[in-house]
Chain A
């Protein structure tokens, strides 16, 4: 059995677990813990402390694993371990929480430094009323025009598929 992996990263509560859940054929093996910090609890009840793990079987010989990283900076020691040998990575950003954009940029730069693998950036929660405009987000995240920046709703399988496909197209383009 051959396996390949992609990493889904981003700040705390960006929607990484939901993203993987939308396309994984197994229930996501999620190491979620109840949040103890009051500030973080105001955003969501449970968070990923080590990683999420989803699977997509391609055929009997090939499996794609999706790894979601923990969002909090204090678990960043896990990031490099999870990024080892990845085909590419997706940076999830919550379009409704501009206070996380700076952190998203920092995570993106950290992962870019780990490995020269292709990546895409997904603007999650674009269906929400208070979501930032994509062009404004691109500026705020300081994304070069060449970087693929995609609209996404982590609970909507179709947009998640688009993000994954765009990353795969980038991987393919890199091979030429």
Chain B
């Protein structure tokens, strides 16, 4: 039977565990809340991964890891044409720019990060394509899944806890009356703090700061616990009254109806 289903019924952790134990080769395709991920395995080991619009190429990975400047990255994308990742890797090694270990470490870090992101996906569909081996035009790695699974399980618990505390990122934040002084914040926290305004939703702050749902929740949770911010409905967003709330849409009749309810409750 095809290995496919819903992430609500079968979590990423369970899927990785199965792939690991069954020594599977193929590609796990996950349709998440807003993007798609491809994670390839060879004999139960992580070989390659990419997510969303990112192509998962060596140039992209090295650029994201700040090992290639924007100009170097552009030059490779524009001029290197059909050069494969393996060829590019050899060129960089032969030029003395990077070592083989550097390249592998960066790829492993990137692929692991993609899989880590998947742990925060609780909604979505997956399918395992046994006919889709790890891409041959990309450099493949061989990473044991055990540590990733353990770390993922830990992250999943954290995710569940943070989702309980901050269920919706469509809400905004505002500072409490406490002054924000003598508080030691990290660079990431400052980035979030600088956008705190009842008009900005947490989703917008995360997007602006290129943070995923887990990262923004982590920071907001800390600020909430410290009593520095509170969650509010976003200002300036006019939410129309649900027409089902009142049997009438005439304001005065609505008021009269609420007064009738008050009168009745008092006499109970």
Give the B-binding residues of A (Cβ under 8 A). Answer: 2-4, 23, 56-59, 62, 64, 84-87, 102-103, 105-106, 109-110, 112-113, 115-117, 142, 144, 157, 161, 164-165, 168-169, 171-172, 175
Contact = CB atoms under 8 A, between A and B. Distances in A.
A103 to B, nearest CB: 7
Contact of A168 (B170, B227, B243, B262): B262
Contact of A113 (B165, B168, B224, B263): B168
Question: What interface size band does chain B fall in?
Answer: 20 to 34
A168 B265 contact: yes
Given A56-B264, A87-B245, A110 B230 contact: no
B257 A164 contact: no
Contact of B165 (A56, A84, A102, A116): A102
A52 to B, nearest CB: 17
B264 A117 contact: no
Interface string B164-175: 111110110000
29 contacts: A2-B247, A2-B248, A4-B245, A23-B265, A56-B265, A57-B264, A62-B257, A64-B264, A84-B244, A85-B242, A102-B164, A109-B167, A109-B171, A110-B168, A112-B171, A112-B233, A113-B171, A115-B239, A115-B242, A116-B233, A116-B239, A144-B230, A157-B268, A161-B266, A164-B265, A165-B266, A168-B261, A168-B262, A172-B255
A2 B265 contact: no
Nearest to B263: A58
Given A4-B245, A23-B265, A85-B242, 15 more contacts: A56-B268, A62-B261, A64-B264, A84-B242, A87-B245, A106-B165, A109-B166, A112-B231, A113-B168, A116-B239, A165-B265, A165-B266, A172-B259, A172-B262, A175-B258
B266 A2 contact: no
B233 A175 contact: no
Minimum-distance CB pairs A-B, first 5: A85-B244, A113-B168, A2-B247, A106-B164, A58-B264
B266 A59 contact: no
Interface of B: 164-168, 170-171, 224, 227, 230-231, 233, 239, 242-248, 251, 254-255, 257-266, 268
A54 B261 CA distance: 15
Contacts of B258: 87, 168, 171-172, 175
A64 B168 contact: no
A115 B265 CA distance: 24
